[in-house]
Amino acid sequence: MVSKPSKKKAAEEIEELRKEINYHNYRYYVLDSPVISDQEYDRLLRRLEELEKMYPDLVTPDSPTQKVGAPPREEFGTVTHSIPMLSLQNAFSEGEVVEFDRRIKRLLGMSQIEYVAEPKIDGLAVELVYRNGVYVQGSTRGDGYVGEDVTDNLRTIRSLPLRLIETKLPVPGLLEVRGEVYMSKKDFAELNRRREREGEPLFANPRNAAAGSVRQLDPSVTASRKLNIFVYAIGRAEGVEFSKHSEVLDSFRSWGLRVNREIRICDSIEKAIRFHQDLEARRKDLDYEIDGVVLKVNRLDLQGQLGEISRSPRWAIAYKFEPEQATTVIKDIVVQVGRTGALTPVAVMEPVHVGGVEVKRATLHNQDEIDRKDVRIGDTVIIQRAGDVIPEVVAVVKEKRTGKERKFRIPDTCPVCGADVYKDPDEAVSRCTNISCPARIKQSIKHFASKGAMDIDGLGSKLINQLVDRGLVTTVADLYRLKKSELAGLERLADKSAQNVIDAIEKSKQTTLARLIYALGIRHVGEHVARVLADSFDSIDAIEKASLDELTSIREIGPKVGESIYAFFRQKQNQKVIRDLVSAGVRFAPPRHATRLEGKVFVFTGALHDYKRSEAKKIVEQLGGTVASSVSKKVDFVVVGEDPGSKLEEAQRLGIKIIDEATFKKIIS
Ligand code: IVH
């Protein structure tokens, strides 16, 4: 039995524990660099809870134990922002940003302006109020003048300090801080997975999930959601003076508030534009969603001179990225048959601009997905296209339903050849059972001829469709028997083009083993696995003869992939196609066992002069090395290009070897 300390002793220990726990919260949630184990942390927190239980009157609202949900409320109170929370003007092109810079220079009569460039976090804007360093109020932006009082909800956010840290820089008596509450992509995916299991409606994106979680009348619900915060602006602050926005951010950091790491000071608009490009390229690697870069004039006196216009400051602009989501209407749902026979339902939509291109079709994946999202013909939907990813339907906007929408079901017979459709109960997809289905043949030939495979220039979809429809080609090996006269007879193919295609087919005979393996279109064998196989075997023959054990003993080849490869080579038709390809003259250069950079891990930051990021990555991989997206102790080299990001600082902190482009070239040459 542990004895109960006197109230005075308890109060002292409580104060000590709170300081210590606050510090560890800061290390963990703000700096992302904890200095104690989870168990030690839990021990401190438990001891604090124990003492507070003994003396409930010693509990204060800023105690780390108070990061749990308070009782539910009937409705939110309102908070009037003492300084309005403005919105930002948007820019969608480089030209508009250059114009913004010109306008500022003209208004100020200056020739050079320093900007702070910050990621525009896609979340919910909030204001936090600290009195004497203690968190006392939190509110949403609302209409910019009046927001909702969400004090108890925001209190549950782990990276939101309930008490600011006193450093050399005194904490102001009153401090209003603005920032964005968001949910990480990982936590969003996890939350939706859980909601799906429990049959609850899914959130369309992390922003909706964050906003929905903050605007909960029951703070314990908010507490159960993993929210996070970045702060980026100041409201009122008593007893401190700043001359630059970057100083404000530095002070926020030193008080323990969480400031984004990807913030740059740019001494020209060109640098800011470059930062925007770099960040857009890295957007998918960040674990939170951003929809642009906010550019802010750094000097606060200049901000004051510029003032504001129609509720937006003249000194800042949101330079947006290509949107990744858009809203449109589904006109029809059609079914595509792929090379493995898989029937994929595809939404045919009103054309819409998203991710930088016009999109008319989006995949609905399979019947289970259609049912799960309850997608119907005629529905208004949110679609998403991120990077090179195939556009997909994310969610239905159910509020827009009129009652005229029609449900869709995958047919029981193949829409192309009429054969039966089979659905393995363990799989989500339905498949056409006819291996000679023209749709399957066409797709496998398209894949065979594609860039990463045999790379046959000029052999496009239209030509392939005609070749298959006329029975000129039934397997990929038939391509090598084609005669110019056969091609020249086809619709819209001039003599010269026919010769070009014949030449391209001929040229494709000289290939690499990896390309050939990939071209065969074995299920689960993408370019990477094909390369792994090519590195482990010297010939197609050797792979064909390999046992299942031999295949799965290769690093990176698991049971599912191994079985698929093994089964592919047991099929008589496949063996024949391979024999035909070889006798038609398909040859590959003996594999180069590139191992010079084996085990070496590279990270790139900033723009390289002579290579695109993807090219540099390919080179490293061809030499047996790997490329990571973030710096950790496992990394061997950090290659620094122009305008490096925070990875450089991280590499310096961890003492990892930093090299420039010239040295990188030497290493790979
Ligand atoms: S500064 C007066 N900085 O963008 C300037 N805003 O359209 C106030 N946002 O309501 C905003 N990241 O929700 C600023 N780094 C950032 C931001 C940011 C996201 C949001 C914020 C604001 C909206 C403006």
**The CATH number of domain 601-668, selected from 3.20.20.80, 3.40.50.10190, 3.90.1150.10, 3.40.50.150:** 3.40.50.10190
| Tokens read off for 419 | 């054969």
Q: Which residue has the tokens 């001891």?
A: 47
What whole-number distance in Å separates Cα of residue 297 and Cα of residue 260?
18
Whether 89 lines ligand 1, by a CB cut-off of 6 Å, is: no
Task: Answer yes or no: is the C-beta of 232 below 6 A from any ligand 1 atom.
Answer: yes
Whether the per-residue pLDDT at 288 is higher than 60: the answer is yes
pLDDT at 411: 95
pLDDT, tens only, 543-561 = 999 999 999 988 889 999 9
Ligand 1 pocket residue status of 312, Cβ below 6 Å = no
Q: Running DSSP on this structure, what letter comes out for residue 130?
A: E
Which residue shows structure tokens 């957007």? 283
As annotated, the residues of the chain forming the CATH 3.30.470.30 domain(s) are: 90-320
CATH topology of domain 325-400: OB fold (Dihydrolipoamide Acetyltransferase, E2P) (2.40.50)
Nearest to 282 by CA among 579, 606, 64, 620: 606
Which are the catalytic amino acids?
A: 120
User: CB of 141 closer than 6 A to ligand 1?
Assistant: yes
User: Is 90 exceeded by the pLDDT of residue 91?
Assistant: yes
- To which H or E segment does residue 74 belong? none
- Cβ of residue 379 lying under 6 Å from some atom of ligand 1: no
Give 541 or 492, the one with higher predicted confidence: 541
Residue 14 has pLDDT above 60, yes or no: yes
Q: Is 638 helix (H, G, I), strand (E, B) or coil?
A: strand
| Atom in ligand 1 nearest the alpha carbon of residue 141 | 10
Please report how the helices 269-282 and 94-108 are oriented relative to each other, as an axis angle in degrees rounded to 10. Answer: 150
**Nearest residue CA, atom 16 of ligand 1?**
120
pLDDT computed for residue 592 by the predictor: 56
pLDDT at position 1 over 60: no
Neighbours of 426 (CB within 10 A): 5
Token code pair at residue 519: 């071209």
Tell the burial category of 358 from Cβ atoms under 10 Å away from its Cβ (0-12, 13-18, 19+). Answer: exposed
Is the separation of the CB atoms in 519 and 597 below 8 Å?
no
Mean pLDDT of 50-71: 88
CATH architecture of 7-67: Orthogonal Bundle (1.10)
Question: What distance lies between CA 157 and its chain's CA centroid?
Answer: 22
Nearest residue by C-alpha to atom 21 in ligand 1: 125
Rounded percentage of the chain residues whose pLDDT exceeds 90:
70
Q: Compute, in angstroms, the gap from residue 215 CA to the centroid of ligand 1.
A: 19
Ligand 1 contact via 543 beta carbon (within 6 Å): no
pLDDT at res. 70: 74
Torsion of CA 627, 628, 633, 637, to 10 degrees: 40
Closest of 25, 70, 79 to residue 222, by C-alpha: 70
CATH 1.10.287.610 in the chain is located at 7-67
CATH 1.10.150.20 residue ranges in the chain?
441-589
593 band by pLDDT with thresholds 50, 70 and 90: low
Q: How much distance in Å is there from the Cα of 293 to the middle of ligand 1?
A: 10
Q: What is the pTM of this model?
A: 0.70
- Give the pLDDT of residue 591: 53
Q: Which candidate, 129, 227, 134, places its Cα nearest to that of 178?
A: 129
Query: Measured from the CB, is residue 638 less than 6 Å from ligand 1?
Result: no
Torsion angles phi and psi, residue 129, rounded to 5: -115, 130
* pLDDT-derived band at 71, boundaries 50, 70, 90: confident
Name the CATH code of domain 90-320 (choices 3.40.50.620, 3.40.50.300, 3.40.50.2300, 3.30.470.30): 3.30.470.30
Residue 233 CA, closest ligand 1 atom number: 1
Confidence of residue 2 (pLDDT cuts 50, 70, 90): low
pLDDT of residue 536: 87
DSSP string across 428-451: S-EEE--TT-HHHHHHHHHHHHST
Centre of ligand 1 from the C-alpha of residue 88, in Å:
7
What pLDDT is stored for residue 169 in this prediction? 86
267 Cα to the center of ligand 1, angstroms: 21
CA distance linking residue 560 with residue 427, whole number of Å: 13
Among residues of the chain, what percentage have pLDDT more than 70?
A: 99
Å from CA of 211 to ligand 1 middle: 15
- Ligand 1: atom nearest CA of 120 is 12
Handedness of CA 64, 69, 70, 74 (dihedral sign): positive
Dump pLDDT digits (tens) for 496-547. Answer: 888 999 999 999 998 889 999 999 999 999 999 998 899 888 889 999 999 9
According to CATH, where is 2.40.50.140 located in the chain? 325-400
Q: How far is the CA of 87 from the centre of ligand 1 (A)?
A: 7
Confirm or reject: Cβ of 87 under 6 Å from ligand 1. yes
Q: What is the DSSP string of 345-366?
A: EEEEEEEEEETTEEEEEEE--S
- Cβ–ligand 1 distance for 551 under 6 Å, the answer no
Assess whether the C-beta atom of 90 lies below 6 angstroms from ligand 1.
no
Between 134 and 496, residue with greater pLDDT: 134
Q: Is the pLDDT of residue 72 over 80?
A: no
The CA distance from 216 to 61, in Å, is 20
Residue type, 601: V
Is 523 exposed, middle or buried (CB count within 10 Å of its CB: 0-12, 13-18, 19+)? middle
CATH architecture under which domain 441-589 falls: Orthogonal Bundle (1.10)
Rounded distance from Cα 125 to ligand 1 centre (Å): 7
Q: Please work out whether the CB of residue 259 comes within 6 Å of at least one atom of ligand 1.
A: no
Ligand 1: residue whose CA is nearest its atom 13 = 125
The atom number, within ligand 1, closest to the CA of 118 reads: 15
Q: Which residue lies with its CA nearest to atom 17 of ligand 1?
A: 120
**What distance in angstroms lies between residue 354's CA and the mean position of ligand 1's atoms?**
22
Alpha helices in 450-558 (DSSP H): 461-469, 484-488, 495-508, 513-519, 527-536, 540-545, 548-552
Which tens digits make up the pLDDT trace of 438-465? Answer: 999 999 999 999 988 999 999 999 999 9
